[in-house]
Amino acid sequence: MIAFLIKRLMHAVLVMFVISVLAFAIQDNLGDPVQQMVGQSVPESEREAIRERLGLNDSFLVQYVRFAKNAVQGDFGDSYFYREPALEVIARHLPATLELVFAATLIIVIFSVPIGVYSAIKPRSPLSRLFMGASIIGISIPVFLTAILLIQIFSIGITITLFPESTSWGAWLNGLLSTEGNMPSFGRGYNLVHVVGHWDTNLATWNGLQHLVLPAVSLASIMLPLFIRLIRAEMMEVLQSEYVKYARAKGISMRRVYFVHALKNTMLPVITVGGVQIGTMVAYTILTETVFQWPGMGLMFLDAINRADIPLIVTYLMIVGVIFVVTNTIVDLIYGFVNPTVKLTGKPA
Amino acid sequence: MALLEVSHLDVRFALRQGEVRALRDINFTLERGERLGIVGESGAGKSVAAFSLLNLIAKPGYIAGGSIKFEGQTLNTMSERGLRKVRGNRISMIFQDPMMTLNPVLSIGEQMVECLKAHRRISTKEARAISLDKLRQVQIPSPETRLDQYPHELSGGMRQRIIIAIALLLDPDIIIADEPTTALDVTIQAEIMALLLELCEQHNVGLILITHDLGVVSQVTQRMLVMYAGRVIEQGLTREIINDPQHPYTQGLINALPQMATPGEKLNQIRGSMPSLSNLPSGCAFHPRCDFINRADGQPRPACTQQVPEFVESGNCRVACHMVAEMLEDRRLKEETR
């Protein structure tokens, strides 16, 4: 177990190294950070001085080695824009993103498992067909479009006058299809509860949760259909297996056959895919956070790119790399726990 | 009344290309403690027969007609709830491949305890005690440690012992064993078969043994059915059928046993192969492979290619063959004229 974690730690270091090199390599193509910092009116000589002071005139190798030396000691450099340590800036934005990803993951888990299982057990039922059709649409619509649609429907509101308003049934149908549009669509709200350090949470107040709903739903909209289909496909395969037939022949209840015998085996590949997807979702937050102006890492990263804030960009990419490694490690631990045939370490049985 | 009475069982598969009749007009009975063998080539419908007894055939298969009566209850029309009380409890099953039968993510103990708890109101502790007792009966080495082990930690032979133990958990009346030794090492096959036979005798459990091993059938069972293309073509006392097979197909099967061949010569075989159920030959389904299609005068018997043979009684056996029917008829005529 310890050996496994140490191995993963080395993975993380390797990943961070590779990402930092790649991120550094593209910095010349991101534009001139000095221009973003000081604006048009500052004379060229002064700009050159700032460049010199920031070490931007040094060769790639010198810059990288300097960065790496500091990074090993936990100093990832100062953000050009915020004028404070990049790590500090990220730490301030991280909780918002993690809460968003957590909420989206929760939505995915709560809906994908029952829907996936149902449509595997009853593949021909109209409801299953509806789910499958809807999931194709869900996968096809890009996140930002879903987000804008959600804002239109639930924040701005839509008024439907398709049916004759004069009749009572028409008015009723119109009322049923129209939405009021009182859901917040912007930022995290002001009712945040401070937890610890930089972590203010949306999860503790009704207002905070309301702010979280639309961004979380739109972030989940891409992965949810994917997971429904994945769970359905895996479950249908497992239901054909000999051990499911055998479980039925033992006379145990169908509920137990489905939810113990079949689901546990179904979840094995789903857990693996899920681990990778949680990392991917952190990356997807860039789109969602931009549409909803959610003050998390994704929005921060997009701003950093616009400002050519290289230390912040590099640090962000490295942190996302670490998040990938960490989630994968956690997933592998869970996998080892669920699947008895897998042993994480070569410990004697 | 027999313990199990199967009459006119008809199983079909509703496929896109049309309906396929997997079993036609299967009739047999099983008495308490009796052992019945069902033999035939792959694709003859043996496994379908086994699964249909507990109404476990997967869609698109379904029981289209006939009845399966167990202690007077008709299983094929029973509710799923009622069937569940019979499955694993009064009639249990042993599947072909022990590597695939046990759920890989559940411990042996869990898989035994759940079966007991589904049929009896007992505590987990009691269920584990019964499970342990059954594991001892199947002579598994160090049974205490097995309950907490997972299937992948055990060999094929051990897994099949565990499946036999699960089959015996609730002291059933009948065990249906679908090729219980086919997937095992040859050296272990005999061991497992002997164990199964011993436990069935000891507990007076009826056994329906599905196999293509005629040697095993002759050692273990009292009566047998020979199946071909979804139909029983010969049934009766095992001893009589093995010693004096009537149907050309049964004769072919017995001739094909290695011990029937002359050393140094090729093994005997039945030419051709089992027809597809969706495209059966006319008349007797076996006629394209049959060596006895010609009459004594050298002319082919028209009935063989035109008419599905009816059962005729020959001694203690029932045979569905025109040639045998003709022979018996000739004999009867001769005796009458005498």
Position A347 pLDDT exceeds 50: no
A32-51 mean pLDDT:
79
Q: What is the ipTM of this complex?
A: 0.89
- Rounded Cα distance, A44 and A42, in Å: 7
pLDDT of residue A75: 84
Contact B120, B131 (CB under 8 A): no
Cis peptide before B60 (omega within 30 of 0): yes
pLDDT at position A346: 47
Give A95-140 pLDDT, tens digit per residue. 999 999 999 999 999 999 999 999 999 999 999 999 999 999 888 9
CB contact under 8 A, B115 and A251: yes
Is B150 within 8 Å of B108 (Cβ atoms)?
yes
Which residues on chain B are in Cβ contact (under 8 Å) with A238?
Answer: none
Tokens 């027999």 found at: B2
User: What pLDDT sits at residue A344?
Assistant: 60
Strands B231-237 and B223-228: antiparallel
Q: Nearest Cα to B252, choosing from B225, B271, B275, B280? A: B271
Query: Rounded to a whole number, what is the distance in Å from the CA of A338 to chain B's nearest CA?
Result: 7
What 3-state DSSP class applies to B30? strand
Mean of the per-residue pLDDT values for chain A? 86
Tell me if chain B has a CB within 8 Å of the CB of A342: no
Identify the pLDDT of residue B270.
Answer: 87
What are all long-range contacts of A24-32, with beta carbons under 8 Å and residues at least 24 apart? A24/A60, A24/A63, A24/A64, A24/A67, A24/A310, A24/A314, A25/A60, A27/A308, A27/A310, A27/A313, A27/A314, A30/A305, A30/A308, A30/A310, A30/A313, A31/A308, A32/A308
Q: Would you call A1 exposed, middle or buried from its count of C-beta atoms within 10 A (0-12, 13-18, 19+)?
A: exposed
pLDDT tens figures, B202-226: 999 999 999 988 989 999 999 999 9
* Residue recorded with tokens 């639309």: A214
Winning range, highest mean pLDDT, from A25-34, A191-200, B252-261: B252-261
- Identify whether the C-beta of residue B169 lies closer than 8 Å to the C-beta of residue B122: no
Instruction: Give the Cα separation of A137 and A154 in Å (integer).
Output: 19
- Tell me: the pLDDT tens digits for B313-335? 887 889 999 988 888 888 889 88
Indicate whether B145 pLDDT > 50. Answer: yes
Q: Which SS3 state, helix, strand or coil, does residue B103 take?
A: coil
**What are the domain boundaries of chain A?**
1-30+76-338
- Higher-confidence residue: A30 or B271? B271
Q: What is the rounded average pLDDT of the residues B10-18?
A: 90
> Counting runs of H as helices and runs of E as strands, what totals does chain B give?
13, 12
Q: What is the DSSP string of A85-153?
A: BHHHHHHHHHHHHHHHHHHHHHHHHHHHHHHHHHHHHSTTSHHHHHHHHHHHHHHHS-HHHHHHHHIII
Residue at B113: amino acid letter: V
CB A95 within 8 A of CB A201: yes
Q: Where do we find the tokens 């896109």?
A: B16
Nearest by Cα to B328 from B5, B319, B337, A347: B319
Asked if A251 lies within 8 A of B85 by C-beta distance, the reply is yes
Compute the nearest-CA separation of A260 from chain B (Å).
Answer: 9
Query: Would you put residue A158 in left (φ > 0), alpha (ψ -120 to 50) or beta?
Result: beta
- For chain B, the structural domain boundaries read 254-337
The SS3 call for residue B312 is strand
Q: What is the predicted pLDDT for the residue at A256?
A: 93
Which of B103, B113, B115 should one mutate to test binding to chain A, selecting the residue with the greatest count of A CBs within 10 A?
Answer: B103
Q: Which CATH architecture has domain A1-30+76-338?
A: Orthogonal Bundle (1.10)
* Nearest in space to A276 (alpha carbons), one of A240, A231, A329, A340: A329
Interface of A with B in 221-280 (CB under 8 A): 240-243, 245-254, 256, 260-261, 264-265, 268
pLDDT confidence bin for A258, thresholds 50/70/90: very high
Phi-psi region of B226 (alpha: psi -120 to 50; beta: other; left: phi over 0): beta
Report d(CA A247, CA A118) in Å as an integer.
19
* Tens of pLDDT, residues B50-61: 999 999 988 889
**Chain A partners within 8 Å of B107 (Cβ):** 340
Please report which helix (H) or strand (E) contains residue A242, including its range.
helix A242-249
pLDDT digits (tens, 9 = 90+) for A280-331: 888 788 989 999 999 999 999 999 988 888 888 888 988 888 888 888 888 8
Q: What is the mean pLDDT of residues A34-57?
A: 79
Task: Indicate whether A333 pLDDT > 50.
Answer: yes
A122 touches chain B (CB under 8 A): no
Contact A245 B56 (CB under 8 A): yes
Please name every residue paired with B320 in a beta bridge, in sequence order, or none if there are none: B311
